Amino acid sequence: MVPFTIATGTMDHAMNVFIRVHTDAGFYGVGECSAFPMIVGETQDTCLVVAKDFAGLWIGKNALETEARLQQLHQCIAGNTTIKSAFDMALYDIAAKHAGLPLYRFLGGERRVVESDITIGIASPEVMAKKAGEFKLSGANILKVKLGKDAVGDVERVKQIREAVGERLAIRIDANQGWSFDDAVFALQAMGKYDIEFCEQPMRTWYDDRLPELMKLSPVKIMADESVYNHHDARKQINSGSCDYINIKMAKSGGIFEAKQIHDLAAAKGIACMMGGMLESRIALSAKLHFVYASPNIKFYDMDTCMLGHLVDPCVGGVTYDGYKLNIEDMPGIGADADEGFLAKCEKFSV
């Protein structure tokens, strides 16, 4: 993939794992995850090792007992939410296929317009402003700007981007835990005049106790990302007054089952959510779109991964882009699979 830089590091290749869970009913479920070691602490290699253990646990078990199958994974190993999300996805694909329904309908959802933002990685202010202008010309309406390297430079980045695109485009920023508390106060107060929609994860999670104070000082709304992996994290962030919004990612939550719990808890508290992700292909992106259709409290969509520089598309079927809007056909289950020609060139094993 094209190298992509955020505050915690640069990724020059996607570390994805694709799985198929076969059933005795003659069909299989698909799942995909994308390891992002600087964030979640897993790599492609760790995902593969743990996947072998997971696969053995499910032999001879009922694939439609979703919660029981997921509990087996949690009892096997703590954490490892990235690879767990692939297995979770495959279970939901199986359940929806068994019901003969697209996943979003199986989850009780309905179609709606979903328009993604488009992300600008960290570079010089001039380079980022130029990229913002290019995205505007391509029809983008929402920019997500990666920051967090240095607060003074970040203010200049946002200033030049706003000048490049004018007032119409929405700008949201993501510091990826890059700022100290003082840097966050400075940057957010300085950026208030540039009409910023929200700021994702301004500080490291070990400063979560200072988020209520930052919330009072910031003119920009705060979205929790790395501070919320599961619905218990969400409860603590919301109850302590630490965030305005929450970013849900399958690689953090461990998949759809936990993501739904985060969504429902946040909805009950009046905290809107965003659908985010790592560097998944259109396979996992398809599952995320189904989840969005079934999750009315997801109000923001950061679903541009497949537009950011994947050099190969391994997906058959699945999500399509109409400009920055996402669509998917009504096929049973997730409606996406991996291309056999692509798989033939990959490392693979069966359990």
* From 225, 280, 302, 337, the catalytic residue: 225
Entry pTM: 0.95
Tokens of 22: 């076969």
At 149, the amino acid letter reads: K
Question: Helix count (H) and strand count (E) of the chain?
Answer: 14, 16
Catalytic site includes residue 146: yes
Burial class (CB in 10 A: 0-12, 13-18, 19+), 207: middle
Burial class (CB in 10 A: 0-12, 13-18, 19+), 10: exposed
Beta strands in the chain (DSSP E): 4-6, 9-11, 15-22, 28-35, 118-120, 142-146, 170-174, 196-200, 222-224, 245-248, 273-275, 298-301, 315-317, 320-322, 325-327, 336-338
Tokens of 258: 């936990």
86-102 confidence digits (pLDDT tens): 999 999 999 999 999 99
DSSP code of residue 13:
S
| Gap between the Cα atoms of 114 and 301, Å rounded | 7
Please report how many Cα atoms fall inside a 13 Å half-sphere around the Cα of residue 302, on the Cβ side.
Answer: 27
Q: Is 60 left (phi over 0), alpha (psi -120 to 50) or beta?
A: left
The tokens 């060139």 sit on which residue? 345
* From 32, 42, 183, 200, the catalytic residue: 200
Amino acid 7: pLDDT: 53
* From 97, 136, 144, 146, the catalytic residue: 146
| Gap between the Cα atoms of 301 and 118, Å rounded | 10
Please report how many Cα atoms fall inside a 13 Å half-sphere around the Cα of residue 146, on the Cβ side.
Answer: 20
Catalytic site includes residue 302: no
Catalytic site includes residue 24: no
Please give the chain's pLDDT, 351 residues, in tens: 455 556 555 555 688 999 999 999 999 999 999 999 989 999 999 999 999 999 999 999 999 999 999 999 999 999 999 999 999 999 999 999 999 999 999 999 999 999 999 999 999 999 999 999 999 999 999 999 999 999 999 999 999 999 999 999 999 999 999 999 999 999 999 999 999 999 999 999 999 999 999 999 999 999 999 999 999 999 999 999 999 999 999 999 999 999 999 999 999 999 999 999 999 999 999 999 999 999 999 999 999 988 886 778 899 999 999 999 999 999 999 999 999 999 999 888 888
CB atoms within 10 A of CB 262: 27
The answer to whether 262 and 301 have CB atoms below 8 angstroms apart is no
Tokens of 28: 């299989």
**End-to-end CA gap in the chain:** 30
Amino acid 9: pLDDT: 54
CA angle 312, 334, 60 (to 5 degrees): 105
Tokens of 94: 């199986």
Amino acid 6: pLDDT: 62
Catalytic site includes residue 174: yes
* Phi, psi (deg, nearest 5) at residue 19: -130, 155
| Gap between the Cα atoms of 340 and 79, Å rounded | 31
Which residues are paired to 247 by β-bridges?
Answer: 274
The answer to whether 214 and 207 have CB atoms below 8 angstroms apart is no
Amino acid 1: pLDDT: 43
What SS3 state is found at 107? coil
| Gap between the Cα atoms of 238 and 30, Å rounded | 33
Nearest to 231 by CA among 17, 81, 105: 81
* From 97, 249, 252, 288, the catalytic residue: 249
